[in-house]
Amino acid sequence: MSENVKEDYTARNLALLAARGVVLDDMVEILDTLQRPYNPDMERSLCEEHVLAVLRKQQTFHALQLAIKIDTAVEAGEFNPQYNHIVGQDEGLFGVDESIATAVPLMYGTIALTNFGYLDKEKIGIIKELDSDHSEGKCNTFIDDMVCGIVAAACGRLAHNNIPTYSKPLK
């Protein structure tokens, strides 16, 4: 794939995220928070590099585009009332949002997938903001999980491409 195509996916993914209130630094901050205990001397720019690498992926673009389309369609009431309610309220047993979002960390192995579960449960940073914002009919059911997926994938990518100073976090 040419560099132009990769950069196009990066720009398009960043634009999609920005349209839903998520900026690059939001994801970099979460990745830095997760990795700092394992890499205390790590440059923050390394986190940005790995998030951007995940955003260069075509698969990330497709999953993100679908996720945002579903959230915005629910906001517009485009589905039947029952589905709009289930997705709009992010009902716990729905699970399709996580299924789509895990397509991204699955590209980076088990470590990325376990980080997805952790982020989905703990709701760190912008993830928590998205998850709790249902103001004015806003639906963030899919986008919060996509941010989990992108950060978890970047976490896995970072883990696979860097030898940490410590294999376990410092206490």
Residue 8, SS3? Answer: helix
Q: Which residues of 45-65 are buried (b: 16+ CB within 10 A; e: fewer)?
A: ebbbebbbbbbbbeebbebbe
Query: How many structural domains is the chain composed of?
Result: 1
pLDDT at 171: 64
The reply to whether 166 falls in a domain is: no
Considering the domain boundaries, does residue 40 fall inside one?
A: yes
Residue 136 lies in a domain: yes
Residue 138 forms part of a structural domain: yes
- Could you report the per-residue pLDDT of 66-121, keeping only the tens digit for each? 999 999 999 999 999 999 999 999 998 899 999 999 999 999 999 999 999 999 99
Give tens-digit pLDDT for 126-156: 999 999 998 889 999 999 999 999 999 999 9
CATH number at residue 23: 1.10.3760.10
**The whole model's pTM is what?**
0.91
Quick check: is 58 in a domain? yes
pLDDT tens digits, 22-31: 999 999 999 9
Q: List the domain range (segments joined by +) for residue 121.
A: 3-161
With vertex at residue 127, the alpha carbon angle to CA 57 and CA 4, rounded to the nearest 5 degrees, is 20
169 domain-assigned: no
